[in-house]
Structure 1
Amino acid sequence: MSGVVESAGSGAARRLPGGQGATGLPDGRAGQNGTVRRALLDAALEVFAERGYTDAGLTEIAARSGIPVGSLFQHYGGKRGLYLALWEEFREEQERRTAATLAAERDRGVDDPIALFVAGARAYLEGAWDNRRLGRLLVGDDGPSGFDALRRQWDRAWVRRNARLLKVDERRRAGRVRVSVLTTVIGGAARELGDCADEPEAREIVDEVCGILIHLSAPPG
């Protein structure tokens, strides 16, 4: 999953079948395509959440969206494209949320790396709670072929970004390990939030984890 970041937009969605970048179409056609894609993604999330990725059927996704199966293939190329588009959407929203939080904190004059890191982590965790249905789907083991490798690649990039935010020297093994542990704490907490019974419980977890991050973020000595 995504993490504490300073800028959004990896461009991966634009590489998906029927990607979500600029279409070059007239405004009306582009808007219509956006409505179709939204309906397909919403229906895909429902079916994936209910049946899992493996057992989800394209016919059911198309029926729930009210969009013909042919249009589904045109926009996303199939089930894998839908899943990856949902993943990209989740990542981009989390990036946007954390980047906006960091910008606001800096505008307030906050420049302490740990304070910024924890503020970004809080924003990320709150986003994980707000988007918990999609988050639960994306952390599961039932995804398309090759998705685990993509997720590991993203996790490594997440650690590097957190290291820059915390101003940790990545050439030192101890620093890399510390940032990796912090990143793992955030990811684990995000998974727990998906199973919370209600918002008060989720807020309690977010507060607890942010306290843990403050303690663990302090450099040794």
Structure 2
Amino acid sequence: MSEEEQPVTVPRTSERGAATRAALLTAARDVFVSRGFAEAGVTDVVARAEASVGSLYHHFSGKADLYLTLFEEFQARQSQRTKQAARQARAAGESDPMRVFISAARAYLDGCLEERELAALFLRGDGPPGFEVVMRDRLRTWAQRNAALFEEDESALVVVLTGALAAAVSEVTLSGDRGLAEDVLAIIGQIRPSTSAGGATSR
């Protein structure tokens, strides 16, 4: 067989690397959920993943990076859930921004219940230093996305809705009560901008 006819071997290092990274994240999730972030150790994670310490530091900078990656990937899945729910609501003919918001909020709460152990992990306050800043930034981004559903002069409404839903996320996730989620959404859905109050003020 000539040199030109030699079979080409495709390197599989990227596949192995992706599999190792996924195994480390799964292990980190299990360890953080069972022991808490503060009590968990890198050695606990690599032992559960059946990997080496070197492989962990090849993919992540340390324990905090594992935690933050789990958080960002969870939030990416949540974002996908809410966007899909909003698109489906609009595709079904829904034009009321509040009802579109409720559809997206329900999808977010469903995601928290579906991945309850992971969602609860991020709400317990046992995260790496500076994680509270990450959470505040995420809430601000969430409020900005919510604002896109409503009129420009309804910023107060967006603040109320975002704050109410953030509180609901915490209570529903920690309790696992799906009925509570529906009750909260029913109440939030009744909130409307106080246009009549604005009119009374202007007179």
- After TM superposition, the score normalised by the length of structure 1 is 0.79
Post-superposition offset of 1:156:
1.0
Residue in structure 2 matched with residue 177 of structure 1 by the alignment:
156
Q: Contact 1:40–1:65 at 8 Å: present in 2 too?
A: yes
Decide whether the 8 Å contact of 1:98 with 1:120 is kept in 2: yes
Match of 1:193 among 172, 195, 198: 172
Unaligned runs of 5+ in 2: 1-9, 197-203
The one-letter code of the counterpart of 1:190 is V
Find the partner of 1:151 among 135, 149, 157.
Answer: 135
Structure 2 residue aligned with 1:219:
193
Give the whole-Å Cα distance in 2 for the aligned partners of 1:33 and 1:138: 26
Letter in 2 for 1:184: G
Higher relative contact order (CA 8 A, sep 6+): 1
Aligned structure 1 segments of 4 or more residues deviating by more than 4 angstroms: none
Report the counterpart of residue 183 of structure 2 in structure 1.
Answer: 208
**1:70-117, Cα deviation, whole Å (9 max, x unpaired):** 111110111011001000011000000111111111111212111101
Give the letter for the 2:45 counterpart.
Answer: I
Count matched residues.
186
Q: How far 1:120 sits from its partner (Å)? A: 0.5
1:206 positional shift: 1.9
1:6 maps to: none
Distance 2:11 2:76 in 1: 23
* Deviation string, structure 1 residues 41-87 (Cα, Å, up to 9, x no partner): 11111111122111110001100011111111110111011001000
* Alignment-derived partner of residue 108 in structure 1: 92
Shift in Å at residue 188 of structure 1?
A: 1.6
Q: Tell me the TM-score normalised to structure 2 length.
A: 0.86
- In the alignment, the residues of structure 2 paired with residue 107 and residue 65 of structure 1 have an alpha-carbon distance, to the nearest angstrom, of 43
**CA offsets per residue over residues 124-174 of structure 1, 9 Å max, x none?**
1111110111111111211111111111111111111111112242xxxxx
Instruction: Please give the secondary structure, in 2, of the residue aligned with 1:193.
Output: helix
1:138 match: 122
**CA shift at 1:27, angstroms?**
7.7
Q: Which protein is bigger by CA-based radius of gyration?
A: 2
Given candidates 64, 71, 95, the residue that maps to 1:87 is 71
Matches for 1:34-73 after TM superposition, within 5 Å: 34-73=18-57
